[in-house]
Amino acid sequence: MAIPMLESDPRSRPRPHTFFPPKLNRCVTWLCKRTARFKIRRKLKVVDIEISSEDLDTLRSLRGKRCLLMPSHSGGFEPYLVVYLSKLLRDDYYYLAAIEAFQRHPIIGWIMQRMGAYSIVRGAADRLSFQTTRKLLAEGKHWLVVFPEGQTVWQNDTVIPFQEGVTQLAFKALEDAGSVREDSDLACIPMAIKYVYLNNMESDVEESLRRLESQLFKEPVPDVASSYDRIRRIGEAVLAANEQRHGIQPDADAQLDSRIQCIKEAIVREIEQQLGIVPRANMQLLDRIRGCFNAVDRIVSADASETPYRQKLADEHSRAAAALYDDLWRVLQFVAIYDGYVSELLTVERFMDVLCLLEMEVFNERRIWGPRKAIIKVGEPISLRDHLDTYRAGKRSAVQAVSMAAESSVRSMLEHLSTEHSTPMNGDGVVR
* Predicted local distance difference test score (pLDDT) of residue 387: 95
Give 263 or 428, the one with higher predicted confidence: 263
Q: Residue range 136-157: average pLDDT?
A: 91
Give pTM, 2 decimals: 0.86
* C-alpha torsion angle, residues 421, 426, 430, 432 (rounded to 10): -50
Specify the higher pLDDT residue, 95 or 264. 95
Is the pLDDT at 365 greater than 60? The verdict is yes
In sequence order, what DSSP letters do the residues of 379-428 get, joined into one string? ---EEGGGGHHHHHH-HHHHHHHHHHHHHHHHHHHHHHHHHHHS-BB-TT
pLDDT of the residue at 269: 92
How confident is the model at residue 340, as a pLDDT? 65
Please state, for a pLDDT cut of 90, what percent of the chain lies above it. 57
Q: Which of 79, 83, 121 is nearest to 102 (CA)?
A: 121
Give residue 7's pLDDT band: very low, low, confident or very high (50, 70, 90): very low
pLDDT surpassing 80 at residue 104: no
Which CA distances in Å does 407 have to 223, 383, 400?
43, 15, 10
Q: What is the average pLDDT across 381-400?
A: 95
pLDDT value at residue 8: 40
Which range (153-157, 181-185, 421-425) has the least confidence? 181-185
Element (H, E) at 301: none
Is it the case that residue 140 has pLDDT exceeding 90?
yes
Rounded-to-integer distance, Cα 158 and Cα 121, Å? 25
The residue ranges of every structural domain in the chain are 26-199+370-421, 202-363
Pick the CATH number of 26-199+370-421 from 3.30.565.10, 1.20.1530.20, 3.40.50.620, 3.40.1130.10: 3.40.1130.10
How many residues are given for the chain? 432
pLDDT of residue 336: 54
Q: Collect all residues with Cβ–Cβ distance below 8 Å to 418 and sequence separation of at least 6.
A: 156, 157, 194, 345, 347, 349
pLDDT, tens digit (0-9, with 9 covering 90-100), for 330-357: 887 765 565 567 777 789 999 999 899 8
Half-sphere exposure of 138 toward its Cβ, with a 13 Å CA cutoff?
A: 20
Q: How far apart are CA 174 and CA 66, in angstroms?
A: 9
Interatomic CA distance for residues 152 and 237, integer angstroms: 24
Mean pLDDT of all residues in 244-256: 88
